[in-house]
Amino acid sequence: MKNLFIIALLLAGKITLAQQSVIIRGKVQNLEGHKLAIIYYNPQKKVRDTISLNNGKFEAKIDIDATQEIAVYPYNFYKYAVPTAKPNQFFLQPVLKIFVAPGDVITVDGDAKNLWEAKVSGGKYNKEYALFRSLVMPLETREYSLLAKQYSKENLQDTVAFNKLRVERWEVKDKIKSLIKDFYEKNTTSIYALYKFSENLKSMKPEEIKQLFAIYSLELQQSDIGEKVYGYLQKVKSVNIGAKMIDFTGTTLKGNVFDSKSLKGKYALLDFWGSWCGPCRKSNPHLKELYNKYSKQGFEIVGIAQENRSLEKGKVSWKKAVEEDGLPWIQLLNEELKAAGGDLVKAYNVHSFPTKILINKDGIILWKGVGSEKGLDELLTEIFPR
């Protein structure tokens, strides 16, 4: 693929940018004594901080070492938020996103009523950022306006009107997604377009990413954002069809120590699922059929549950689901693996549930299914002929 080998060499010796400050100053009307919240990434972690205002004016300094999009919004201030159908719960306004580079000085002039529409000036890449905002911001405003209308007292009591507005909102959301995709596909000399591209990698196939990334200029490919895209491609490659499986160990639901090396000589299906996942649970009866049909011929299933809860609560919901669905195969809890330093969902680059990965006798990834089992039955029929 064009440029990718060169990029690999360059990135191998890439020197991390020195951490620099970004100054953000300006004024926000109608905050009524409340603070602003700001979210950004420093070299170590995601940071959320607050900014105090004096007579509506503020100045803040954040330390970053990479070009990024930061978020600014009213902190714990719900006067202009849309109430939900439940008491004291709100749909928050869209956040103000600002694209910044180390060393930038940014000026903001806005109103708490619609802070996402604030005027933003300054910064190395303001021209590219402003172009994108001019396209997306009207749609964000339209979507939030429809949300307010949908959850008005009048429409909460009118199911037909409520559902019609929900459909309209989703149509606007789809337009925003389409616009973002169009922006990063057509503006391949823009670092902000590359940033938007990097935010959407999980929704694209590896080959699509490779082809589009190759069109971007070599300078952008070598940038800190380009490094992120390249790193993602390498990670996907390591768990793609034809790659060797990533070994792991863990404690099963039954309390036994499990080592993936014990799967050598067998065909094994890694089933990434969760008790909360409807499609996962619906696929279990068919998995049981496959297990009963082929397990005596050298077929194994390893369930890896991601519960998205605390470890203790996750154990309870996981165990209950396994018992309810009557799953006889090896079961591991990813939260437990994660606590021991072995996050399999991350290692196998799983972003959707269910995800199933078939491993052959030599530990090579043979098949991968995201959201469906298309092709699995046929493949197993070829592997285990009657």
6-41 pLDDT, tens per residue? Answer: 444 444 444 344 568 999 999 999 999 999 999 999
* Coil, strand or helix at 77: coil
Query: Are the CB atoms for 239 and 365 separated by under 8 Å?
Result: yes
Out of 1.10.3660, 2.60.40, 1.10.10, 1.20.120, the CATH code matching 16-122 is: 2.60.40
| pLDDT for res 205 | 83
| pLDDT for res 9 | 42
Exposed/middle/buried for 101, CB within 10 Å: 0-12, 13-18, 19+? middle
Is 3.40.30.10 the CATH classification of the domain at 249-383?
yes
Closest CA to 71 of 55, 43, 44, 92: 92
d(CA 107, CA 72): 12
* Coil, strand or helix at 200: coil
Question: Cis peptide leading into 385, omega within 30 of 0?
Answer: no
Exposed/middle/buried for 38, CB within 10 Å: 0-12, 13-18, 19+? buried
E strand spans, 93-199:
96-100, 105-111, 119-121
| pLDDT for res 237 | 79
d(CA 263, CA 265): 6
CATH 2.60.40 positions along the chain are 16-122
Which parts of the chain have pLDDT scores under 50? 1-2, 5-17
d(CA 367, CA 213): 25
Side chain identity, residue 78: Y
Determine how many CB atoms are found less than 10 A away from the CB of residue 319.
15
Pull the structure tokens for residue 107. 């000026």
| pLDDT for res 19 | 67
CATH 3.40.30.10 positions along the chain are 249-383
Query: Are the CB atoms for 212 and 178 separated by under 8 Å?
Result: no
| pLDDT for res 43 | 72
d(CA 117, CA 167): 24
The residues, ordered by sequence, that sit 6+ positions from 19 with a Cβ below 8 Å of its Cβ are 42, 43, 63, 64, 65, 102
The residues, ordered by sequence, that sit 6+ positions from 110 with a Cβ below 8 Å of its Cβ are 26, 27, 28, 29, 96, 117, 118, 119
| pLDDT for res 18 | 57
